[in-house]
Every structure is written in C-alpha cells, then in structure tokens.
Amino acid sequence: MKALFLNCTLKASPQTSNTEVLTREVMTAFEEEGVATDLIRVVDHNLKPGVSSDEGNGDEWPGIRAGILDSDILVIATPTWMAQPPSTAKRVLERMDAMMTETDDEGRPVAYNRVAGVIVTGNEDGAHHVISEIAGALVDLGFTIPGQAWTYWNGGPGPGPSYLEADHGKDWSLKTGRQAARNLIAVARALADKPMTMG
Amino acid sequence: MKALFLNCTLKASPQTSNTEVLTREVMTAFEEEGVATDLIRVVDHNLKPGVSSDEGNGDEWPGIRAGILDSDILVIATPTWMAQPPSTAKRVLERMDAMMTETDDEGRPVAYNRVAGVIVTGNEDGAHHVISEIAGALVDLGFTIPGQAWTYWNGGPGPGPSYLEADHGKDWSLKTGRQAARNLIAVARALADKPMTMG
Amino acid sequence: MKALFLNCTLKASPQTSNTEVLTREVMTAFEEEGVATDLIRVVDHNLKPGVSSDEGNGDEWPGIRAGILDSDILVIATPTWMAQPPSTAKRVLERMDAMMTETDDEGRPVAYNRVAGVIVTGNEDGAHHVISEIAGALVDLGFTIPGQAWTYWNGGPGPGPSYLEADHGKDWSLKTGRQAARNLIAVARALADKPMTMG
Amino acid sequence: MKALFLNCTLKASPQTSNTEVLTREVMTAFEEEGVATDLIRVVDHNLKPGVSSDEGNGDEWPGIRAGILDSDILVIATPTWMAQPPSTAKRVLERMDAMMTETDDEGRPVAYNRVAGVIVTGNEDGAHHVISEIAGALVDLGFTIPGQAWTYWNGGPGPGPSYLEADHGKDWSLKTGRQAARNLIAVARALADKPMTMG
C-alpha cells in the first residue's frame, strides 16, 4: 500500500515549508503501519494551467498524475492564504479535473476505491474551510474521504507565528494526524477487499 | 443495512417538498439493493437550539439522533437558499456536534464506520457548495464520505423553476443519485467487514 | 444614524453569550461616533422557517425585519459551529431572502444603500469562512460590505477556551472591531450623501 | 474614473475565453458611464508564486499590481472549476495579500476607498460560492463590495454547454451585470467624495 503526499506550499525548495514539517511528522504514522510514502512539493514543478491530463510542452503534471494513480492514498498538504486554499492546491485539483471522465478497466472513474485526506497549516484561521473545499472537490472526482482523515495547525485571532516558530497546539495536531493516518489506511484496506463498482 | 434520509426542506408537511421528490426517487435505488430506508422531514419536529444530544423540555432531537445511530448510512437531503445550506440542515449538524465526544464500546467516535451522502435541490446555483459544507462537517464528526456520494438538481443562471415544475436535467440527477446510492452501500459494506479502529 | 446588531448565539437569554460580550465592546465604538445602537438576541424570538417576510401565526420575524429596515447599518454577530455559520444566522439570512424582491419608492431593492458587517467568536478555527458566507449572502440582497467591516476572536488548533475564559488576542479583536465600526459608519455616510440608483 | 478587469480564465490568448465574452459585454456598461476600462488576461503573464508584491526574476505581478492601484474599481472575472475559484484567481488574491500591510499617505491600507466586483461563468453550478470566496478575500484586504456588484452565467445540473455555445439566461446575466456596473460606479463615486479614514 502506498500514500502520496502533495505539499502545496508556495515556497520552492530548498525554502523551509511549515506545512512540510507537520506533513513529515504525519508520514511516519503511515510508515509505522507499513505504508510506503512519497512527498512531492508541487511548486517545484511546472504544472501548466488547464484541465487536461497533459498540457504538453514542458508540462510536469503527467508525472504527478502517475504518482497519484500509483497510490492508494492521496494526502493534500497545504497552507492557508486568506483563509482559503492556495493557488497551488487549486492547480492540483484543476489538473485532476480530467479524472472525472477517465475510467479503469471496469468503467469506474479512476479515483474510485482510492482514499484522500488533508493536512493544513496556517498562522491564522481557515483550516476547516480549506479541508472542506479540498475534500469536496476530491469526492466530486470519486475519492472516498474517511472520517476524520485530516489534521491541521494554526492559531488566532489575527496574524501569528508559523508552525515552526510556535509552541502551542502541536501535540493536538500530531495526535489528530496520527489518527487520520490510521483512518485513511483502514478505509483504503476495506475498499481493497470490497471495492466500489459501477451501476 | 439501514439508510436514514433527513429532509431539510423549510416547508412543513403536508406541503410539497421538491427535495423530497428527488430524495424518494433515490431511495428506491437503496431499496432495490435490500437496504431499508426511512425519511424524516426535519422541520416537522422541534429541534431546539443547542449542541448537546438532549436540550430537554420538548426537544425532539433525541428521536432523530437515535435514528441516525440505528442506521449505517445517513443522507442529508436539502434545498439551497442563497446558494448555502439552509437553517434546518445547519440545525441538524449543530445537534450532531455532541457526537464529537460520544464514543462506542471501543472508544471510537459514534460516527466511525458510518457513511454519509448529500442530495440537493434548488432553483438556482449553489449545490456543490452545499455538498462541500455538509460533507465537511460530517467528516469532522467521523462519517466517511464515499466518492460521488451525492446528487443534485438545479438550473441557472438566476432564479428559475423548482424541480417539480421543470423538465431539464432530471435524468442526470437521478442517474447520479442511483450511482451515489451504490457507492454509499458499497463503502458501508466494506467498513462493516473491515472497520476503522482507534489508535 | 442607527446600527442594529443581531446576535446569533445558540444560547437563549439570560445565558452568557461570548459573542455578545465582544459585540457590546464593538458597539461602544459606534456610540462614540454618535450612532444609535440596538442589539437583538435572535434565539429569544420565534423566527419561523420560511422565506417570506411574515410566516404568520406567532412569527416574530416582522419585528426584527422592521428593525433592519429602520437602521442604516446591520451587523450579524455570530458564533461558529463546526467552522460554519450556525442555524440561527442562517435563519436570519433566509428570512431576509424576501428582500430580494422588495423595493423602495424608487424601485431599488430595500437593502440598497445600507451597509453590513460581521462579528464572529468561536473557540476554534472558522471565522473567515463564516464572514465570507454571511457577507456573500448580504451582498446578494443588495447590502454594501465596506472594506474590513468585521472582527473576530478565536484560537486554535483544536477545541479551546471561549472568549470570556481566554486571555489571548482580545486586544487585536477589539482594535479590529473598532476600525470595522469606523469603516461601516464611513461608507454608510458616503452612501447617504450619494446613493446607489437603479438602471 | 477607471475600472480594471482581471480575466482569470485558464486559457492563454488567443484562445477564446467564455468569461471574457461576458466580461466585455459588462465593460460597455462602464464605458457608457464614462468610466475608462482595461482588461488583463492573467494567464498570459508570469505571476510567480508568493505573497510579496514583487517575487523578482521575471515576475510580472508588479505591472498588474500597478494597474489595480491606478484604478478605482477592480473586477475579478473568472470561470468556475469544480464549483470553486480557479488557481489563476487564487494566485491573484495571494499576490494581493501583501496589500494587507501596504498603506497610503494617511496610513490606510491601499485597498481602502476602492470597490470591487465579480463576474463568473461556468458550464455548471458554483458561481455564488466563487463570488463569496473572492469577495470575502477582497473585503479582508480593505476593498468595499457594493450591493449586487456581480453577475454570473451558468447552467445545471451536471456538465453543460459553455456561455458561447448556450442560448439560455444570457439576458439575465447581462442585465444583472449592467446593474452591477452601476452599483460599482455609484459606490466608488460616493467614496471618492467621502472617503474612509483610519481610527
């Protein structure tokens, strides 16, 4: 079983991404359960605007798309900006839009029987909304969202420190993230045994 | 296996609810699969404001709550008003808020291993957002949202006819609803075989 | 000039409403500018479900509606539940839905040339989304939302103390609320001098 | 008085943008009122990821930012993808994030006394939510959103034709867009006469 993490930070490598720090902490919970993990920092790649699976001419989406389809579990890890999903997360979802009409050998949308979760960090308010937006789009495509398949870290009210600078709430975020990992793996395994089918 | 449908129309019985018409059409897809169904029109009951499981003194939430816990599948059926979930749907979610800390014999939140879906009707734009809001809150509680576990009907742009008055798009809504039923049942069965557990 | 504050707490009087405490602090900023203020705790009144201006038979919406139309400034003050607007705030917006087709002597929707703002408290994440939802619905009706016409207080991540129990961030919330008051009054006065007209 | 329109289509020039067609129709309503208009197709420019006003090294945001600050009225014109704002619109808002702390000679955030509106096209449901998300972020920055300062076009339920392919609802979208223009101009003029000030 494989889990792919897409880090949607706005900061290109090798800049420090707060989201990546929390994400790597959650990734260990997957590895402890024997799930192979991989992390891609989206902004390091050229994801051309569009809604097809290959926009040609230098487009690096096809590689990321292959990684998604090669995994049982997808986790979108993202900061909040203005309490909303950032452009990078939206670009990923847009490029996945083509999956609406792409089907497997049994005529099922390719996202069927895959599960997805969300990890959010921000220095302020907005995580729940970001989770709902991303989860809503993924359900639209056919991904199953297990109960409590997310974690987040932030503070409030108003602007505040980043995850790495702060010292509050990290235990809660990590504990919640470890249970999210457990839930994602459980539902992925249940669907592997008894998959969804087309009517 | 049982599925409970909560119709969150603003119209008390016996007024005609467009949402209920589409919902009953989808319910037959559950019955054809051997799943028992029940429908409650929320506005016919006194759901007192609050976030506990029993607000006392005439509160009729405890009966609806018992119905949710007695079912494997929960479907929130709702109109859109101003392109957002109505007060009735929000009241249901608020009253479910207590489920965050209510656990079963194995210490799991009571919503774990239950699945949920959404049915929306409106004379105008707003269904996807209503689905994301409701699904987001239910995932928060521990419900699993299967891929494409929803359907909707509306038109646009601007105000238009209601479901019963209209003649466009109904085949799409019903076909999508029948697949949603299939997906909800499949994931409920998969989780019944291989349930989520606490870490 | 008058400002009406609708407190959408779920708690009936005389229970303590955290939202009301912050709201009354912001109200003093209006009074210092010579704006008369009034506060209604919505849950103390029988607001029947529906989308007309009078649902008859004990409906107490007509009195609140009269208060809105008698004011230049409307402020929705509300808690967050599950990071979304509560049923009480949604009920208020639903009942205002009738204002879409109600016009003044010059054929303008009744909300034209009125301004609106939002005050949010919660023990956790969700304020920005609640502000966007409420502001979006009010703009739909014709209210003008001045820049930065809101304030909020919360914490995070995960559940935490309420406004009255906490000791962080209150200065920020109050300072932001005082500027919001200033902005609401400024735009209300600008529109009083130079009103919007119909095409 | 000047109005700047940012078209957030995913399609680079010279591809046909449905959003641009509706936008240009609305732009004539501004010109008829003597307001100068300009339209920028965002995807034609290199808007680097980040939240500063200049990300250096080929970043074309500074030119667009200058256009925003040179205008009294900003209109975000955008398609919907998955019923949410596209990455291009989110990128614009992110780059505007720096305006939170940029002030004018009198210490006011640079967005104060500017007004903003939204135009949305989509082949399906989602416009109201897109408007609320964009308007919410702009209010956060200090822009004032006049009542009914938006228009949209779409259909539903499910996938359907694009604006140019369709023949329904265009009169409604254009009439609503013309009134939105009127409202944006009226509030911009009112604020020009009687501006917001800092406390």
Q: What is the 3-state secondary structure (H, E, C) of B81-120?
A: ECCECCHHHHHHHHHHHHHHCCECCCCCECCCCCEEEEEE
Best of C61, C81, C97 to disrupt the B interface (most B CBs within 10 Å) is C81
Nearest CA in chain D to C111: D147
Structure tokens belonging to residue B45: 């009951």
A90 touches chain D (CB under 8 A): yes
HSE, side-chain direction, 13 A CA sphere, residue B45: 21
Of A83, A132, A172, the CB nearest to C157: A172
Asked if B139's CB is within 8 angstroms of A145's CB, the reply is: yes
Q: Which residues contact C181 (CB under 8 A, 6 or more apart)?
A: C26, C29, C30, C33
Please choose, from the candidates D158, D86, D81, the residue with its C-alpha nearest in 3D space to the C-alpha of residue D122: D81
pLDDT given at position A199: 87
**Above 0.85 for ipTM, yes or no?**
yes
Q: What digits encode the pLDDT tens for the residues C111-150?
A: 999 999 999 999 899 999 999 999 999 999 999 999 999 9
Give B199's pLDDT tier (boundaries 50, 70, 90): confident
Place of tokens 């939170």: D100
Of D148, D149, D196, the CB nearest to C183: D196
Q: What digits encode the pLDDT tens for the residues C97-106?
A: 999 999 999 9
- Contact between D77 and D18 (Cβ < 8 Å): no
Of D11, D86, D136, the CB nearest to A90: D86
Tell me the mean pLDDT in the region A6-24: 98
- Contact between C84 and C133 (Cβ < 8 Å): yes
Share of chain B above pLDDT 90, in %: 99
**Which amino acid is residue B30, in one-letter code?**
F
Phi first, then psi, for residue D145 (nearest 5°) are: -105, 110
Return the SS3 of C149. coil
Q: Which residues contact D161 (CB under 8 A, 6 or more apart)?
A: D123, D155
Distance from the A5 Cα atom to the nearest Cα atom in chain C, whole angstroms = 21
CB atoms within 10 A of CB D93: 24
CA distance C198 to C196: 7
| B85 chain-D contacts, CB cut-off 8 A | none
Best of D26, D118, D129 to disrupt the B interface (most B CBs within 10 Å) is D129
**Which amino acid is residue B118, in one-letter code?**
V
Tell me what percent of chain B is helix, strand and coil, each rounded to the nearest 5. Answer: 40, 20, 40
Asked if D49's CB is within 8 angstroms of A10's CB, the reply is: yes
Tell me the mean pLDDT in the region B92-116: 97
Q: Which residues contact A127 (CB under 8 A, 6 or more apart)?
A: A80, A120, A121, A152, A153, A154, C125, C156, C157
Low-confidence ranges of chain D (pLDDT < 70): none
Asked if D88's CB is within 8 angstroms of A81's CB, the reply is: no
**Which amino acid is residue A59, in one-letter code?**
D
Place of tokens 């957030």: D8
pTM over 0.95: yes
Average pLDDT, chain C: 97
Share of chain D above pLDDT 90, in %: 99
pLDDT of residue C177 exceeding 90: yes
- H or E element: which one contains A125? none
- Contact between D59 and D47 (Cβ < 8 Å): yes
Asked if C131's CB is within 8 angstroms of D145's CB, the reply is: no
Give C199's pLDDT tier (boundaries 50, 70, 90): confident
Distance from the B14 Cα atom to the nearest Cα atom in chain A, whole angstroms = 33
- Contact between A93 and A137 (Cβ < 8 Å): yes
Return the SS3 of A79. strand
Asked if B194's CB is within 8 angstroms of A190's CB, the reply is: yes
Asked if B82's CB is within 8 angstroms of C93's CB, the reply is: yes
Q: What digits encode the pLDDT tens for the residues C27-52?
A: 999 999 999 999 999 999 999 999 99
A10 touches chain D (CB under 8 A): yes
B136 touches chain D (CB under 8 A): no
Q: What digits encode the pLDDT tens for the residues A135-170?
A: 999 999 999 999 999 999 999 999 999 999 999 999
The set of chains that have 3 or more CB pairs under 8 A with B is: A, C, D
Where does residue B69 rank: exposed (0-12), middle (13-18), buried (19+ CB within 10 A)? middle
The set of chains that have 3 or more CB pairs under 8 A with A is: B, C, D
Return the SS3 of A50. coil
**Which amino acid is residue C70, in one-letter code?**
D
The set of chains that have 3 or more CB pairs under 8 A with D is: A, B, C
- H or E element: which one contains C6? strand C2-7
Structure tokens belonging to residue A96: 């996945």
Distance from the B164 Cα atom to the nearest Cα atom in chain C, whole angstroms = 19
Place of tokens 């920020």: C172
pLDDT given at position D54: 98
| B87 chain-C contacts, CB cut-off 8 A | 49, 87-88, 90-91, 94
- Which residues on adjacent β-strands are paired with residue D120? D78, D152
Number of residues in chain D: 199
Nearest CA in chain B to D150: B158
pLDDT of residue A51 exceeding 90: yes
pLDDT given at position D199: 87
A61 touches chain C (CB under 8 A): no
DSSP 8-state secondary structure symbol assigned to residue A165: T
Q: What is the 3-state secondary structure (H, E, C) of chain D?
A: CEEEEEECCCCCCCCCCHHHHHHHHHHHHHHHCCCEEEEEEHHHCCCCCCCCCCCCCCCCHHHHHHHHHCCCEEEEEEECECCECCHHHHHHHHHHHHHHCCECCCCCECCCCCEEEEEEECCCCCHHHHHHHHHHHHHHHCCEECCCCEEEECCCCCCCCCCCCCCCCHHHHHHHHHHHHHHHHHHHHHHHHCCCCCC
